[in-house]
Amino acid sequence: MNKAIRKAVIAGNWKMNKTPAEAKELINGIKPLVKDAACGVVCCVPYVDLPVVLEAAKGSNIGVGAENCHWEKSGAFTGEISAEMLASMGVEYVIIGHSERRQYFGETNETVNKRIRAALDAGLRVILCVGESLQQREQGVTSELVAMQTKIALGGVTKDELAHIIIAYEPIWAIGTGKTATSEQANEVCHTIRATVASLYDQKAADALTVQYGGSMKPGNAADLLAQPDVDGGLIGGASLKPQDFAAIVKAASEG
């Protein structure tokens, strides 16, 4: 596998953290630390933080993303945000299918697919999340589950559109728990994702796909994870809220 044909991307997922004032301070803290990064850098932030983060990131190498979007352009969906609304603000990325959305808010493989369709139609880049629970890993169904999630999510997505999608493997049991998949475990599932994409499209498309790891990546384990042939970056939770930690992961990806 030739990693030279695809660019690593480190994306921060701030989750439900930071007021607008705090978000501005955090972005301004991150900017000088990542300005020379050789990898892609993205910060996905709460809706209320988007205006100040977009303004603070202007002219920098930091891409800005949202943490979710609805599949309809408009309508009676109280509390939801459409992909068109995000695009109109200048948002570039959106996370879709995060395990917390699946676990707490009723997200399904089918609604993930609908959200991806809406995001692509609005011109957004998608960070698609897939991954298994601890019970599913112990039952030995990780590969089948992740392949199924990937196939359903990409239903109706053309090969050209695939170029606007990043897939993040996030083992649910490693999110916010401090537990991390071993480098070998992470690479094995990232390879499964790539093989699934190859079966849906072709090997060239699979080789060009950026596949992130998203389960408690931090400065201490980033280099080992990012050294794996099928791990092209990370979707970073807690460490993305600490400028020095986030920058250390970006540095590891830049050198990998």
What amino acid positions are annotated as catalytic residues? Answer: 98, 170
112 closest CA partner among 101, 123, 125: 101
Q: How far apart are CA 177 and CA 255, in angstroms?
A: 27
Residues with Cβ within 8 Å of 53's Cβ and at least 6 positions away in sequence, in order, are 23, 24, 27, 43, 45, 64
Per the CB < 8 A criterion, the answer to whether 65 and 14 are in contact is no
Q: Which two tokens stand for residue 182?
A: 């071993």
Is the alpha carbon torsion for 189, 195, 197, 200 positive or negative?
Answer: negative
231 closest CA partner among 216, 212, 245: 212
What's the start-to-end Cα distance of the chain, in Å? 14
Q: How far apart are CA 186 and CA 45, in angstroms?
A: 25
